[in-house]
Amino acid sequence: MKDFQLVFDMQPFRESLRRLLLQPDELAVGEIRTRSTPEGEELIITGFRRATDPPQSDQLSPFHCYAVMAISSRRWATSNELASIISPRFRQTLVAIVVRPDRNDEMEVTVVTEGTLHPPSRLYLLGNRSIRIDAATPYNDGKISSKRQRLRQSRTNGALSDELAEQINQLSLVVVGAGSGGSELTRQLSSLHPGRLTVIDNDTVAIENLSNLPHTSVRDLDKSKVDVLVRAIHRNQPKLDLVGIRQRIQDIPTIEHLSTMPRVGAVFSFIDNPAARLAAGMVARKLFVPHLDVGSLIQLNDFNEREIRWDIRLFEPGAGSGCVACVPKLNDIDSVLYALRSPSNAMTLGPPTEWNVLRAGSLLSVNAMAASLAIQLWIRYLRGKVSGHWIRAQSVDDGLPTFSESPVVGETNCPICRVKA
């Protein structure tokens, strides 16, 4: 039997459900994107539209994928009955959803493909305070079964709450970047004991990196940053499912690998390459997961004062939710897109720029603060306290940082996030 996992965009799902509860004779028809993973077939339901009658399957394309949600009634008391009424064609895929009006927190779901009815093995409702409903073995597969492991995680779980800690234990996370910022972010995320952690970076350790990579030594010079980082974290957490990918995030093999992974909970990026940051956001959109972009900058202003800036942005999946190209607007987007599409050995568009032209240097303490703010924002998101969000902190002439925060709003004409996912 095929294994099907369903992924719902929580906000349009809730809006459609409220509308159906007010108009129970109507239906909601959604669009589906499919993704094959090692765990089975993932069906991503990205939105719903109103309908007065069930779709006519014979008027749809032979390979059409669609979802239909309805309130339980005499016409269709169960999802199987709804699926039978719609009667999809042999090669079509239908997700039939029936919600009880007296218990709208419960729903029956049936997947129909090739004329066969399947119960889904897992449901994800993505958005702030994401929900996962399992009908199969949880993803963490008993990694916290031993008394010793529970004791190891006791202080972390106490700080988070057992419920949130268990949720993180079941998540697969991706971090793009294994430099000073990315490695610090990876170390802090690993302390939360996620179900899986994948780190991506194609760079090697150089002599100027050693001070900001305390897990390295001169023996690691010219070695892969991700390999050195994975070994260092595994010395502390040998049971952590931690994988390093020695490639660029924008390289086709990397994208193909991520596209076939089991469901990812979030994509983090902490890198100073605009093309790679944009690629990380595009991968997150493709996987239909949140993207947290983390950055820090130290520079001298016109008065020769040192300015430090921290920027952490959380972009939700879905069209128009904002991205690194438009929040704030990325300078010279044409050059960034050129770098995004070019191989690693391609010539740059325009004259090359030395690293210290735009920034004065890098401090591990500054990057550690950015990583901490990013994780705290992500925790707020998991608790349902924020949606798309932007945190900025600034310090001038070594003064204490000042903080500001605001919702993320995408630009109407953004060529990246306004394109339909």
Residue ending a domain, choose from 104, 134, 164: 134
Q: Are 114 and 237 found together in one domain?
A: no
Q: Is residue 324 part of a domain?
A: yes
Q: Are 106 and 250 found together in one domain?
A: no
Q: Are 225 and 314 found together in one domain?
A: yes
Assign residue 98 the CATH number of its domain.
3.40.140
Q: Are 272 and 384 found together in one domain?
A: yes
Assign residue 403 the CATH number of its domain.
3.40.50.720
Q: Are 208 and 96 found together in one domain?
A: no
Q: Are 100 and 192 found together in one domain?
A: no
Q: Are 186 and 309 found together in one domain?
A: yes
Q: Is residue 420 part of a domain?
A: no
Residue 35 phi, psi (nearest 5): -150, 125
The residues near 263 (Cβ < 8 Å, ≥ 6 apart) are 5, 7, 37, 39, 42, 124, 172, 287, 289
Query: 134, 104 in Cβ contact below 8 A?
Result: no
Q: Give me the domain span that covers residue 50.
A: 4-134
Measured CA to CA, the distance from residue 157 to residue 164 in angstroms comes to 8
**How many separate domains does the chain show?**
2
Instruction: Please list the pLDDT of the chain residue by residue as tens digits (421 residues).
Output: 678 999 998 888 889 999 999 999 999 999 999 988 887 899 999 889 999 999 999 999 999 999 999 999 888 889 999 999 999 999 999 999 999 887 766 789 999 998 899 999 888 888 877 777 766 433 233 333 456 677 888 899 899 999 999 999 999 999 999 999 999 999 999 999 999 999 999 999 999 999 999 999 999 999 999 999 999 999 988 889 999 999 999 888 888 888 888 889 999 999 999 999 999 999 999 899 999 999 999 999 888 899 999 999 999 987 778 999 999 988 888 888 888 888 776 766 666 666 555 677 899 999 999 999 999 999 999 999 999 999 999 999 989 999 999 999 888 888 888 765 4
Residue ending a domain, choose from 134, 164, 188: 134
Place of tokens 């009424």: 85
Q: Are 88 and 172 found together in one domain?
A: no
Residue ending a domain, choose from 134, 164, 195: 134
